[in-house]
Structure formats: structure tokens, C-alpha cells
């Protein structure tokens, strides 16, 4: 049986909200798989490009706590560029999933998440 994970999901808010439906589909799929997803306002269709009605410091503190609580961080990073930043793509510690088709991406994301476990209380890294 696959261990369910606590996942921090990140995506753009201030860069525009054109991808919010896409983010919502990813979060919904992860929730349907039984994972706990900490996404804040990124997948909320009520939040505009101006962001959440919270102080930036409060958002930083909340999200940093969520990241520390999470087993895995999943970030949708390309947005409308269709190409990931070389700075991100060049990090050997990141499993980059480039895609054109959302259904294919979800299959590949699920396969990547299957490599992670949340059995150890302090574990925050990929298990081979």
C-alpha cells in the first residue's frame, strides 16, 4: 500500500491567475489520491493576481511552516512560458517533469510521488 504524503503545492499568484484552473486540477487529483495537500491560495479561484488578503510576512511564515511540515514540495513552475527556468532545471536535487499534456503530467507526477515515503517523522528527501 502506498504511503500517503503531506504535499506542499506551489504555483504563481502574483504573476497572474491564468493557471488557477490547472493548479486546482492538480491539487484535486492529489487529494483524490489520498494525499494531504497544503496549497494556500494558489489553487483558490477567489484569489486575484493581487494575492491573499494577508500580510506578506504572515504568508511567508505560514508557508515556511507548511514546507517544514511537508514530505514533498510540488511546484508548477513554467506557467505560460512552456519552458522551465535553467536555474531550476539544472538542480540535480529536483525531479523535473516537463509536459505538454496535463493527463500525462499527472501520471508522471504520481509515479514520482510513489518514490517518496512519510514513514520517518523527520524525512524530507526522496527515497530510492
Split the chain (128 residues) into runs of 10 and give each run's mean pLDDT: 80 70 90 91 63 79 92 78 73 84 90 70 40
Q: Which helix (H) or strand (E) holds 23?
A: helix 20-32
Provide the whole-model pTM: 0.76
Q: Give the per-residue pLDDT at 121.
A: 38
Give the full edge-to-edge strand order of the sheet including 36-38: 36-38, 6-10, 72-75
Q: Give the per-residue pLDDT at 47.
A: 59
Cα–Cα separations (whole angstroms), residue 78 to 6, 46, 69: 23, 22, 25
What architecture does CATH give domain 6-113?
A: 3-Layer(aba) Sandwich (3.40)
Q: Give the per-residue pLDDT at 128.
A: 35
Q: Give the per-residue pLDDT at 95.
A: 85
Q: Give the per-residue pLDDT at 29.
A: 94
Amino acid at each position: 500500500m502506498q504511503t500517503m504524503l503531506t504535499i506542499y503545492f506551489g504555483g504563481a499568484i502574483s504573476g497572474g491567475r491564468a493557471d488557477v484552473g490547472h493548479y486546482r486540477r492538480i491539487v484535486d487529483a492529489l487529494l483524490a489520491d489520498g494525499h494531504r495537500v497544503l496549497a494556500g491560495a494558489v489553487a483558490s479561484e477567489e484569489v486575484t493576481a493581487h494575492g491573499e488578503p494577508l500580510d506578506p510576512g504572515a504568508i511567508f511564515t505560514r508557508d515556511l511552516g507548511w514546507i517544514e511540515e511537508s514530505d514533498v514540495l510540488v511546484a508548477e513552475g513554467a506557467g505560460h512560458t512552456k519552458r522551465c527556468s535553467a536555474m531550476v532545471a539544472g538542480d540535480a536535487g529536483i525531479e523535473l517533469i516537463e509536459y505538454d499534456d496535463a493527463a500525462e503530467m499527472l501520471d508522471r507526477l504520481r509515479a514520482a510521488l510513489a518514490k517518496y515515503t512519510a514513514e520517518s517523522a523527520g524525512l524530507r528527501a526522496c527515497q530510492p
